[in-house]
A and B are shown apart, each in its own frame.
Chain A
Amino acid sequence: MTTTTPHQHPSADDPRVLLDDQVGAFEAVPPYPPRTEREAEFYSLGDGEMFLNMGPQHPSTHGVLRVVLKIDGERVVDLDPVLGYLHRGVEKLCETSDFHHIISQLDPLEYISSLFMEWAPVMAFEQLLDVQVPRRAEYIRVLTGELNRVASHALFQGWMALDLGGLTPILYSFIERDEIVEMLAAITGQRMLFNYFRVGGVNGDLNHEFMSRLGDWMSRATAQNQANIELLNDNEIFVRRMRGIGRLDRETALRMGTTGPNIRAAGVPFDIRRAHPYSVYPELEFDIPTRGHDGGGDSLDRYLLRLDEVKQSLRIIDQCLHNMPDGPVMARLPRLLRPRPGRAWAAVEAPRGLFGTYVISDGTDQPFRMKIHDPSFVNLQLVGLLMKGNLIADTMAVMASLDPVMGGIDK
Chain B
Amino acid sequence: MTAIGRAWGNLTVTGRVLVPLLFLVLVVAPVATVLIALFVGPWVLDVLASNLGIVRFVVAITGVLLFTIPAAFVIIYMEMKVIARMNLRIGPDRVGPYGSLMSVVHGLKFLSKEDFTPTGADVPVFTLAPVAVFLATVMTFLVVPFGPGLVGQDLNIGLLYLFAVGGMNVVGLLMAGWASFNKYSLLGGLRAAAQAVSYEIPLTLSVVGLVLLAGTLSVYQIGAAQAGWFTDWFVFRQPLGALIFFIAGTAEANRSPLDMTEADQEIVAGFATEYSGMRFAFFFFAEYVNVFVMSALIVTLFFGAWNAPFPFPDVALALDPGSLGIGLVILLAAAPVALTLLFAAPFYLARSSTPAWQALLLGFITFNVVAVGGLLGAAYLGLDWFAGLAWFMVKTFIFVFVFVWMRGTFPRVRIDQLMGFAWKWLLPASLLNLFVTAAAILVVDALKAG
Instruction: Please report A residues at the B interface, Cβ cutoff 8 Å.
Output: 1-2, 19, 23-24, 26, 50-53, 58-60, 74, 161-168, 171-172, 175, 232, 235, 237-238, 240-241, 391-396
Contacts and interface: CB of A to CB of B under 8 A. Distances in A.
A39 B266 CA distance: 25
B179 to A, nearest CB: 11
A391 B414 CA distance: 8
Contacts of A59: 264-265, 268
Contacts of A51: 183
Given A167-B83, A172-B88, A58 B268 contact: yes
B381 interface: no
Nearest to B184: A52
Interface in B126-185: 183-184
B120 A23 contact: yes
Contacts of A396: 265-266
A167 B406 CA distance: 10
Nearest to A23: B120
B119 A1 contact: yes
B237 interface: no
Contacts of B88: 171-172, 175
B415 A23 contact: no
Contacts of B268: 58-59
A65 to B, nearest CB: 14
Contacts of A393: 263, 266, 412, 414-415
A312 B409 CA distance: 29
Contact of A1 (B83, B123, B187, B265): B123
A165 B416 CA distance: 16
A166 B415 contact: no
A312 to B, nearest CB: 27
Majority-rule SS of A interface residues: mixed
Interface in B369-418: 407-417
A162 B265 contact: yes
B410 A237 contact: yes
B119 A19 contact: yes
A74 B187 contact: yes
**Residue from A19, A50, A237, A395 having most chain B Cβ neighbours under 10 A:** A237
A168 B119 contact: no
Interface in B410-441: 410-417
A171 B119 contact: no
A168 B86 contact: yes
B266 to A, nearest CB: 5
B267 A166 contact: no
A392 B411 contact: no
B300 interface: no
**Residue from B86, B123, B183, B184 having most chain A Cβ neighbours under 10 A:** B183
B354 interface: no
A210 to B, nearest CB: 25
B295 interface: no
Contacts of B412: 164-166, 237, 241, 393
B266 A241 contact: no
Nearest to A19: B119
A177 B204 CA distance: 47
Contacts of B231: none
A321 to B, nearest CB: 29
Contacts of B408: 167-168
A238 B123 contact: no
A320 B415 CA distance: 47
B368 interface: no
8 A-B pairs with the lowest CB-CB distances in the bound complex, closest first: A165-B412, A166-B411, A164-B411, A60-B265, A171-B87, A23-B120, A165-B411, A393-B414
18 contacts: A52-B184, A53-B183, A74-B415, A163-B265, A164-B412, A166-B409, A166-B411, A166-B412, A168-B409, A235-B411, A237-B412, A238-B411, A240-B417, A241-B411, A392-B267, A393-B412, A395-B266, A396-B266
A411 B266 CA distance: 26
B290 to A, nearest CB: 19
B121 interface: yes
B401 to A, nearest CB: 16
B84 to A, nearest CB: 9
A59 B86 CA distance: 22
B256 interface: yes
A241 B265 contact: no
A1 B88 CA distance: 48
A165 B119 contact: no
Contacts of B86: 168
B411 A23 contact: no
Nearest to B119: A23
B89 interface: yes
Contact of A237 (B83, B120, B187, B413): B413
Interface string B181-203: 00110010000000000000000
B257 interface: yes
A163 B266 CA distance: 8
A110 B103 CA distance: 38
Given A1-B119, A52-B184, A171-B89, 9 more contacts: A60-B265, A74-B416, A162-B265, A166-B410, A167-B87, A235-B411, A240-B413, A391-B416, A393-B266
B413 A241 contact: yes
A50 B182 CA distance: 12
A20 B163 CA distance: 43
B374 to A, nearest CB: 42
A395 B119 CA distance: 29
B265 A237 contact: no
Given A23-B119, A50-B183, A171-B89, A161 B263 contact: no
B266 A392 contact: yes
Nearest to A163: B265
Nearest to B194: A74
Interface string B102-125: 000000000000000001110100
Given A1-B120, A50-B183, A237 B266 contact: no
A348 B76 CA distance: 48
A62 to B, nearest CB: 11
Nearest to B186: A50
Interface string B264-284: 111110000000000000000
Nearest to A57: B268
A172 B187 CA distance: 32
A22 to B, nearest CB: 8
B183 A60 contact: no
Contacts of B120: 1-2, 23-24
A50 B413 CA distance: 24
Contacts of B121: 1
A338 to B, nearest CB: 51
Interface string B69-91: 00000000000000100111100
Nearest to B414: A393
Contacts of B413: 237, 240-241
Nearest to B418: A393
Contacts of B184: 52
**Residue from B266, B410, B415 having most chain A Cβ neighbours under 10 A:** B266
B349 to A, nearest CB: 50
B411 A237 contact: yes
Contact of A165 (B83, B183, B187, B263): B263
Contact of A241 (B83, B183, B414): B414
A153 to B, nearest CB: 19
A74 to B, nearest CB: 6
B335 to A, nearest CB: 51
A1 B117 CA distance: 11
Contacts of B409: 166, 168
B215 to A, nearest CB: 38
